Amino acid sequence: MEFRYLGNSGFKISEITFGNWLTHGSQVENDVATQCVRAALDAGISTFDTADVYANTVAETVLGEALKDERRESIEIFTKVFGGTGPKGHNDQGLSRKHIMESINGSLTRLQTDYVDLYQAHRFDFETPLEETMQAFADIVRQGKALYIGVSEWTAEQIREGHALSKELGFQLISNQPQYSMLWRVIEDQVVPASEELGLSQIVWSPMAQGVLSGKYLPGQPAPEGSRATDDKGGATMISRWMKDDVLDGVQKLKPIADEAGLTMPQLAIAWVLQNKNVASAIMGASRPEQIAGNVAAAGVTLDQGIMMKIDDAIGSLAERDPAQTKSPATRE
C-alpha cells in the first residue's frame, strides 16, 4: 500500500480507502461486512470512509464494531454529515449548527471512538448560512471531536467560499469527496484547479462507475445475477445511468488496454483515477472479502502516457465532463 498526504496538511491516508456506502447495514450481512473490513486491513488499507446517512446510521455502527479492537492511532476514520437520519424530522438534516453538533456526537458513539480523523460536509446546504456551518466545524475541531474537515460534492465556488471562512476561523478545509472515474470527469475543469490552488485533495468515490468499469456488464445481455445492477435496495438505481449499450461497448474496449498494462479492468479503473495528482485516495467498496486484495493492487501503479491516451480514445465522448454536474441539492429533501 502507498500513502499520500491529504491536502495541504501533514496527514497521510492510504491510496485506497475502504468505503461502506450501499453495503454495510443494507446489502451485506454484518458478519460479511466485518470480514471485508478485516480483508481491507490485511491488504494494507488504513483509511475507512462512512457517513451517518448510510443505511440510516447502521453503516457507522457496523464499521465501529469491526474496527473496535484496532489500534486507533494506526487507522483513519472518516464520516459525513448532511443527509436526513433517524426519523428525518425538521432538524434531522442539513448543515445547521444544531444538526452538526448532534450528528458528530451520534457518529462518535456509533463508531466507538473519541474522534474522527476527517469530518465532511456531505453536500452543500443552501438553506443554512455558510458562516454558521463553518463555525460549527471550527468548534468541533477545537473540541477534538474531528481532527480535519472536508467537504463532498461541492462546486469550485463553494469550496472557495468555505475555504476562506475556514481560514478566518482558524482551521482549513483539506479535502473534497467527489464522484470521479473514466466515465465521470466533471471535476477536472474547475474543482481540481481550485483545490490545487487552495490546498485540498480529492478523495474520490465510484472510481469504477458503480462497477460498470469492471467489464462484467455486457452490451445486449442481462446483468449478472447478484450484481449491483440487479439490487433493488438502491444499487440498480445508482448504476442505471451507465447501463446503455454505447457505454458498455466503450467499456469493453478497455479490456485489451488493461491486458497491455498487466492489470485487471477494476485495477485499471482505480489506477486511472490515482494518476491525477490531486487525488489522494480512491474509495473502494466490497460485498465480498475476496474482492479487496485484487483491487488493492492498483495502489502504486503508474500508467504511461500511451496507456492513458488509449483509455481516452476508448471512452471518448462517453465521459461526462460538464462542471455543472458537480452540484448539491438546492433544497432539503
pLDDT of 287 reads: 78
pLDDT at 28: 56
- Of the residues 54, 119, 148, 217, only one is catalytic, namely 54
How many C-alpha atoms does 295 have within 13 Å on its Cβ side? 28
Q: Which three cell numbers stand for residue 133?
A: 456551518
Domains of the chain by range and CATH? 3-208+274-300 (3.20.20.100)
Tell me the per-residue pLDDT of 200-259, one tens digit each, with 9 for 90 and over. Answer: 999 999 999 988 998 888 877 776 776 665 566 656 666 777 788 899 999 999 999 999
Q: Which of 23, 71, 77, 21 is nearest to 48 (CA)?
A: 77
pLDDT by residue (tens digit) across 252-308? Answer: 999 999 999 999 999 999 999 999 999 999 999 887 888 898 899 999 999 999 999
Distance CA 37, CA 230 (A): 24
More confident call, 184 vs 30: 184
Is residue 76 within 8 A of residue 280, CB to CB? The reply is no
Query: How far is Cα 150 from Cα 152, in angstroms, rounded to an integer?
Result: 7
Strand partners, 14: 3
> Is the predicted pLDDT of residue 33 greater than 90, yes or no?
no
105 three-class SS = helix
In sequence order, the β-bridge partners of residue 279 are: 202
Evaluate whether 100 touches 140 at the Cβ level (below 8 Å): yes
Considering Cα of 155, then 158, then 163, then 169, what sign does the dihedral take?
Answer: negative
In sequence order, what are the beta bridge partners of 4? Answer: 13
pTM beyond 0.75: yes
54 counts as catalytic: yes
pLDDT in tens, 78-99: 999 999 998 888 999 999 999 9
Model confidence at 13: pLDDT above 90: yes
d(CA 25, CA 127): 30
Write down the mean pLDDT value for the chain: 91
- What mean pLDDT comes out for the span 182-211? 96
Alpha-carbon distance of 258 to 141, in angstroms, equals 43
Strands in the chain per DSSP E: 3-5, 12-14, 16-19, 47-49, 76-81, 116-121, 146-151, 173-176, 201-204, 279-284
Phi and psi angles of residue 80, each rounded to the nearest 5 degrees, phi first: -140, 165
- What are the pLDDT digits (tens) for 112-160? 999 999 999 999 999 999 999 999 999 999 999 999 999 999 999 999 9
Instruction: Spell out the residues 6+ positions from residue 43 whose beta carbon is closer than 8 angstroms to its own.
Output: 1, 16, 292, 293, 296
